[in-house]
Structure 1
Amino acid sequence: MKRLRRGFTLVEVLIALVLLSLLMLVLAGALRALGGVEERVEQRITAADDERAAVRLLGDVLGRVSARRFPLRQAGGPAEAPFFEATPNALSWIGIMPARFGAGGRHYCRLAVEPGPGGGRLVLRYAPWTGAPTFADWDHAQSQVIVAPVQQLSLRYQDPASGQWSAVWPPPGVPFNALPSTLLPGAVDIQVEGPEPSWPPLTVVVVATRSSDPSAATGSFGGGRL
């Protein structure tokens, strides 16, 4: 009877407390891991939504490009050409901004990486079209951050006649009379390095607006992605 009424010893209590503490640590670690997984899933969902919105915006703006020609003062080139300044890391053109941005209609546009807090940012700048053949005051133009942070933007332009890609437009060595009547590339390949999760390569078909395309006869035109 004395042995049955005996309580726990101090050593047994300490062992029980240690085991309980270990169990609590394991449960706390599991809860933290579960919270981290949930946060990463939410980040990936948000990043995927941002990517879809950015792809849609680029497809809309680059998918309708003005082919209206302006006089040039460049020796060895055509007398007139559209405003389409294409380099490996930046692109400037006259396009149609979607009305959902409160800036519908024809605008000067530029896509490039700009410095910003925490690193580079892929920025679309736009300013209302004034009829001038070029635009250079990009610092005062409105801007829309496409994605951040970004390390590099790589652009390529497709010659619709040959299907070949070039880092600049017009392609070096291709005579102007061999280019399409719009003097625009058939598509633009966009590769963005830096965002997480990483973007897949994006190809946007370039379609001249009907009112500016010298070869357009009937029908309407819109942008798209390959």
Structure 2
Amino acid sequence: MSRTRPRCQANGFTLVEVLIALVLLAMLMLILTSALRTMGQVETRVEQRVEDADDYRLATALLDQALARASARRYPSGNADNAAQVPFFQGGPNALAWVGVMPARYGLGGRHYLRLALEPGEGGARLVLRYAPWTGAPGFDAWGQAAGQVLAAPASALSFRYLDPGTGQWSPVWPPAGVPVSALPANLLPGAVALQVDGPTPPWPPLIVALTPPYATDPSATLGSFGGGTR
């Protein structure tokens, strides 16, 4: 008499169940990958914004310190009636050149010829501060050979205005057109310079720097007239 063996029950998964599990796993991996990519992009944007904000603070601090203490030294204008009555300050509507003290914290220090203007570059125009050691000459034109530092890029437009402390009016050039030397302040310099830069990211707000010439070069200064710019 033969005995029948009990049938063994199958313990594995069917093909349909395996396919469903693989699809669910693939969807989970896709969601996780997308979430990680989004987190990475957010972190990159945050780091870029922090870097841009730091660049802006450094640029404006440099301008504050270099421009605020513009030299009030004078040199002969070539006109016998106004000899020694021209300042080391050439303020135009789109560029500014002056003699000022570069902050020692930037590794330079000392009096320099400086110019702030837009210059062409990769990806568009850039706001560049050019500087060269001061030699005592009444002017400096070799800006192409001068050292430079990019303060903002890209920059689509740059404009300046200059405050006449006597009238309280802003002028697009300095000295103001048609104003005689005798009508200018004793140091022949504007009371403040307003700077507007368009194009950088993040956008630059208007920057106003009050000028406080060093005592040694300002014939109208008092012993307490040392200071920096303000925004």
Give your verdict on TM over 0.5: yes
Counting matched residue pairs gives 225
Deviation at 1:31, TM superposition (A): 0.6
SS in 2 for 1:139: helix
- Matches of 1:137 and 1:152, distance apart in 2: 23
RMSD: 2.3
Deviation at 1:101, TM superposition (A): 2.9
Closer/same/farther in 2, CA of residues 4 and 173 from structure 1, 3 Å limit: farther
Equivalent residue number for residue 91 of structure 1:
96
Equivalent residue number for residue 176 of structure 1:
181
Structure 2 counterpart of 1:10, which letter? L
- Matches of 2:174 and 2:135, distance apart in 1: 24
Deviation at 1:170, TM superposition (A): 2.2
Q: Deviations over 1:32-88 (max 9, x none)?
A: 00000000100111111111111111011001111111111479x944210211112
- Matches of 2:210 and 2:7, distance apart in 1: 91
Q: Does 1:71 align with 2:82?
A: no
Deviation at 1:175, TM superposition (A): 4.1
Equivalent residue number for residue 162 of structure 2:
157
Q: Does 1:225 align with 2:230?
A: yes
Which has the larger displacement, 127-136 or 140-149?
140-149
Q: Deviations over 1:141-190 (max 9, x none)?
A: 11122222222222111122232222211233444333211111111111
- Matches of 1:190 and 1:74, distance apart in 2: 31
1:64-213 map, 5 Å: 64-73=69-78, 78-79=82-83, 80-213=85-218
- TM-score normalized by structure 1? 0.90
- Matches of 1:67 and 1:111, distance apart in 2: 18
Equivalent residue number for residue 57 of structure 1:
62
- Matches of 2:210 and 2:230, distance apart in 1: 6
Q: Deviations over 1:100-143 (max 9, x none)?
A: 23322111110111112222221111111111111111111111
8 Å CA contact 2:101–2:112 kept in 1: the answer is yes
Which has the larger displacement, 88-97 or 167-176?
167-176
Point out 4+ residue stretches in structure 1 off by more than 6 angstroms: 1-4
Deviation at 1:6, TM superposition (A): 5.8
Equivalent residue number for residue 3 of structure 2:
none
8 Å CA contact 2:212–2:225 kept in 1: the answer is no
- Matches of 1:140 and 1:30, distance apart in 2: 50
- Matches of 1:204 and 1:72, distance apart in 2: 27
- TM-score normalized by structure 2? 0.88
- Matches of 1:164 and 1:107, distance apart in 2: 29
Which has the larger displacement, 9-18 or 24-33?
9-18
- Matches of 2:41 and 2:222, distance apart in 1: 57
- For structure 2, the residue ranges without an aligned partner over 5 or more in a row are 1-5
Closer/same/farther in 2, CA of residues 7 and 82 from structure 1, 3 Å limit: same
- Matches of 1:62 and 1:51, distance apart in 2: 16
- Tell me which structure has the larger Cα radius of gyration: 2
